[in-house]
Every structure is written in structure tokens, then in C-alpha cells.
């Protein structure tokens, strides 16, 4: 049964959300903005203003949820902590991800990675931009940021996807749990090698920052939080880069505008993450009896905060389903908000918006898609599944 704009929430199927969630989101925004969706096992919050309300009241809408798919798959991370416990974990990790450090230290690293990857693919004349460029670029950048050594692009991507799939395993697929367990084991082995090295010789990496914080994290805390960084920290920049490239390759007029004015690359990135929110939903738990958009919620009720829907809310954005770098309504919630505002925001903006995308279009002259229908997938996490293209040699 296909999800349509007239379907009530009890008929919404996760498989249809994975294929194309936007018709269902449109219906929910209009008719039931805090809707109980049985297959998801939670209320989906779909309007922009309601999402902002949840973010502004973290004392009412908690991040901690136990058991949750995330804690079941990778353990207790900062994403499922609140208050002082969350602040402690976040402070320990955030130093290397601050704007000044990103600009001074990481931008040259990202540029080197992009140039190396693009030099390798340029001579081929064709390839999959998702598999051959966006994925390796995100993987290589993240390995450096975290401080992992001797871990290849393929391993990083496989581990990340296994963790991502487990975090969205609302269908309880046992193979997804098994793949995640293998990924966690392999990542722990890599951590065994790097932890003693970084303990002796600190560097600019996130693992080093957590080891040498004013209130250092334990090794178990570091391991679990590296797992969560490996998930979203690879998925989001990979999918935002691929989605933005797809958008420009299918909007010739906006591509010409950007190529004529490089200052517009920032707008390309921000509009892409609004248009296709790579992290499309995250959970919250109700702490006290409250009301949201006319729905009475009780303590313990589970929410799905659907930022992918909020970013296409007709009440906020004109022509919300259109990709438009010239729109004046530029606010979005792709990186969340409040205490849990995405730690990797500045890294993604710099790595993808300032380095990856401009170099992709500059180095691969005559870049063009070789298929007219590009598949996208996901609702908890969403992006292109492939991006076949050709360029001049």
C-alpha cells in the first residue's frame, strides 16, 4: 500500500516512508501534526514550530530513552544524555570541532583529501559520485577528525552504515543488529591501537580531546561516543554532498549562478540540507504531562522529531519541495537545536560547503548525470543511493 496524502497515521508504513516520506509528512502537518504512528511506536512531530518548541524545552522533552535503538546497538552516548551528564560528554569532545579549529587546522586537511580523491577519479571520465567521491571524502575526513589511524575509507563506510542502519531499525531486522555488532567489534579493535598512542601524544583529534579533557572521559565512554560520531559524522556530510551535487546537476540555472558567483556555495549547502535532511528524525521522551499542537502527552511517551518534515513545512517555506538557493526563507532545522545542536555542524559546512562541493565541480569539468532517475532512500536518515555521472577527460 503506497503512502498517500489522504492516509491516516495508523496506515503509514515504514517501508513507504523509506521510499518517499514527503506525502505522508504533508498529510500529517495538515491533519495530525503530533500523530501516533503504530509502526514507528511513537508520536511523529512534523511541523516546524512544534519541532522548535520541543528543542526549546529540553526539560520536558528528554533525549534519554532506554531502551532505545541507539543504546541497544552502540551503548550510552551523549545523544541519549540530558543535563549535566550530556554537557560533560559534549565539552570533552567539542574542542576540535569549533569554528576556529576547523578553519585553521581541518580545512587544509579536508582540501588535501578532496584533491587526492578527485585526482584519482578524474582520469576515469565516469563513476558514481556517491560511491567514488562523497563516501570516501566523508570517511577520510572523519577518520582524521576522530583520530583513527590505519582505517580505510571502505571500512569507515561499512562500519558507519551498520551503525546507522541499527539506529533506524524500527522493523527489528536481526541481520541489521548482527552487522552492527560486527562493526562495533571491529571499531573497538581499531580503538585498541589508537587510545594508548593518543594518551601519550595528544593531537587535534576528537579522541585526543576526550582523553585529555579537564574532566577526561573513561575509555568506555570514549568508545561509545566514537561509535555515535562514526554514524552521523559520516552519513550527514556524505549525503549532504551527494544531495547538493544532485540538486545542482538537475537545476542548470542555479548551477550557472553558483559557477558565476562562488560565494553562493554556502547557500547551496544550506539549501541542500533543508531540502533533503540527511538526518531526518531523532527521538525524544516526554518527561511530564504536557500538550503539543493540541495533543496531550503523558510522561514516558515517545516522540519522533521529524526535522525532514519541518524543513518542508509550508507555513515556513515558500515552495518547500523545490530546491532554491535564492530563497529568502533560509532558516532550517537540519542540525537540530537546543543543547543537542549537532556537534559536527561547522565541520560539515566547511568540509562540504567550502571544500568538497566547489572542488567537485571545478575538478570534474563538464560534470553531468548519466541517469535521469536517481533513487533516494531513508526517513530516519535519507540521501541518494547512487549518483552515476560522467565528466570530460
What are the backbone dihedrals phi and psi of residue 160, each rounded to the nearest 5 degrees, phi first? -60, -45
What average pLDDT score do residues 274-285 get?
95
Residue 3 placed within a domain: no
pLDDT-based confidence at residue 164 (cuts at 50, 70, 90): confident
> Per 3-state DSSP, what percentage of the chain is helix, strand, and coil (rounded to 5)?
55, 10, 35
Residue 381, Cβ neighbours under 10 Å: how many? 23
What average pLDDT score do residues 278-304 get?
96
Q: Are the beta carbons of 138 and 159 closer than 8 angstroms?
A: no
Residue 339 placed within a domain: yes
Residue 61 placed within a domain: yes
Residue 2 placed within a domain: no
pTM of the model: 0.93
Range of the domain at 63: 9-390
DSSP letter assigned to residue 103 = I
As a whole number, the mean pLDDT across the chain is 93
Q: What is the pLDDT of residues 126-158, one digit of tens each?
A: 999 999 999 999 999 999 999 999 999 999 999
Residue 367 has pLDDT above 80, yes or no: yes
Q: Are the beta carbons of 361 and 392 closer than 8 angstroms?
A: no
Q: Are the beta carbons of 262 and 314 closer than 8 angstroms?
A: no
In angstroms, rounded to a whole number, what is the distance separating the alpha carbons of residues 179 and 82?
29
pLDDT above 90 covers a percentage of the chain that reads 85
- Please report, for the domain that includes residue 301, its CATH number: 1.10.630.10
Residue 266, Cβ neighbours under 10 Å: how many? 14
pLDDT of residue 347: 95
Q: Are the beta carbons of 112 and 100 closer than 8 angstroms?
A: no
In angstroms, rounded to a whole number, what is the distance separating the alpha carbons of residues 342 and 83?
16
pLDDT of residue 7: 63
Residue 201, Cβ density class (10 Å: 0-12 exposed, 13-18 middle, ≥19 buried): exposed
95 Cβ contact partners less than 8 Å away, ≥ 6 residues apart: 101, 209, 213
Residue 1 has pLDDT above 70, yes or no: no
Residue 126 placed within a domain: yes
In angstroms, rounded to a whole number, what is the distance separating the alpha carbons of residues 56 and 73?
28
What average pLDDT score do residues 244-261 get?
98
The domain total for the chain is 1
DSSP letter assigned to residue 181 = H
pLDDT of residue 310: 98
* Least confident stretch, 77-86, 113-122, 275-284, 314-323: 77-86
In angstroms, rounded to a whole number, what is the distance separating the alpha carbons of residues 44 and 293?
12
The sign of the dihedral angle between the CA atoms of 286, 287, 291, 293 is negative
Whether a cis peptide bond, with omega within 30° of 0, leads into 67 is yes
Residue 93 placed within a domain: yes
Residue 5 has pLDDT above 70, yes or no: no
pLDDT-based confidence at residue 93 (cuts at 50, 70, 90): very high
What average pLDDT score do residues 294-322 get?
97
In angstroms, rounded to a whole number, what is the distance separating the alpha carbons of residues 381 and 280?
5
What average pLDDT score do residues 29-39 get?
96
Q: Which residue has the cell 493540541?
A: 294
Residue 4 has pLDDT above 50, yes or no: no
In angstroms, rounded to a whole number, what is the distance separating the alpha carbons of residues 61 and 55?
8
pLDDT of residue 148: 96
Of 129, 171, 154, 353, the closest CA to residue 258 belongs to 353
Q: What is the pLDDT of residues 68-91, one digit of tens each?
A: 787 888 888 888 888 999 999 999
Query: What kind and span of H or E run contains 157?
Result: helix 153-167
Residue 4 placed within a domain: no
Residue 1 placed within a domain: no
In angstroms, rounded to a whole number, what is the distance separating the alpha carbons of residues 157 and 160?
5
Residue 208 has pLDDT above 60, yes or no: yes
Amino acid at each position: 500500500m503506497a503512502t498517500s496524502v489522504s492516509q491516516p497515521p495508523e496506515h503509514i508504513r515504514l517501508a513507504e516512508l523509506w521510499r518517499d516520506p514527503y506525502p505522508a509528512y504533508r498529510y500529517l502537518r495538515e491533519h495530525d501534526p503530533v500523530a501516533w504512528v503504530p509502526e514507528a511506536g511513537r508520536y511523529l512531530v512534523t511541523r516546524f514550530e512544534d519541532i522548535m518548541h520541543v528543542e526549546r524545552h529540553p526539560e520536558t522533552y528528554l533525549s534519554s530513552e532506554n531502551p532505545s535503538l541507539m543504546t541497544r546497538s552502540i551503548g550510552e552516548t551523549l545523544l541519549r544524555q540530558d543535563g549535566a551528564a550530556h554537557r560533560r560528554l559534549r565539552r570533552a569532545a567539542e574542542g576540535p570541532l569549533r569554528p576556529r579549529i576547523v578553519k585553521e587546522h581541518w580545512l587544509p586537511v579536508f582540501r588535501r583529501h578532496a584533491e587526492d580523491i578527485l585526482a584519482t577519479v578524474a582520469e576515469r571520465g565516469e563513476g558514481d559520485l556517491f560511491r567514488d567521491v562523497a563516501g570516501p571524502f566523508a570517511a577520510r575526513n572523519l577518520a582524521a577528525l576522530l583520530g583513527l589511524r590505519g582505517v580505510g575509507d571502505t571500512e569507515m563506510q561499512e562500519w558507519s552504515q551498520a551503525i546507522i542502519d541499527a539506529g533506524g531499525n524500527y522493523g527489528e531486522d536481526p541481520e541489521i543488529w548482527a552487522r552492527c555488532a560486527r562493526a562495533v567489534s571491529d571499531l573497538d579493535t581499531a580503538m585498541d591501537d589508537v587510545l594508548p598512542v593518543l594518551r601519550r601524544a595528544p593531537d587535534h583529534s576528537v579522541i585526543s580531546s576526550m582523553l585529555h579533557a579537564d574532566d577526561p572521559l573513561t575509555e568506555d565512554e570514549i568508545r561509545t561516543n566514537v561509535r555515535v560520531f562514526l554514524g552521523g559524522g559520516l552519513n550527514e556530510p556524505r549525503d549532504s554532498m551527494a544531495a547538493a551535487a544532485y540538486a545542482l546537476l538537475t537545476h542548470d540555472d542555479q548551477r550557472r549562478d553558483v559557477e558565476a558567483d562562488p560565494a553562493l556555495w554556502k547557500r547551496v549547502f544550506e539549501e541542500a540540507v533543508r531540502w533533503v535532511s540527511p538526518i531526518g528524525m531523532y527521538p525524544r521522551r516526554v518527561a511530564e504531562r504536557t500538550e503539543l499542537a493540541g495533543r496531550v502527552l503523558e510522561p514516558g511517551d515517545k516522540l519522533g522529531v521529524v526535522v525532514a518534515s519541518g524543513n518542508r513545512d509550508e507555513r515556513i517555506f515558500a515552495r518547500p519541495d523545490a530546491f532554491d538557493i535564492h530563497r529568502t526563507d533560509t532558516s532550517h532545522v537540519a542540525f537540530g537545536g537546543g543543547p543537542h545542536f549537532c556537534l559536527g555542524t561547522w565541520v560539515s559546512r566547511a568540509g562540504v560547503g567550502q571544500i568538497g562541493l566547489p572542488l567537485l565541480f571545478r575538478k570534474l569539468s563538464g560534470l553531468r548525470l548519466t541517469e535521469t532517475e536517481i533513487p533516494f532512500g531513508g526517513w530516519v536518515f535519507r540521501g541518494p543511493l547512487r549518483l552515476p555521472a560522467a565528466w570530460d577527460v
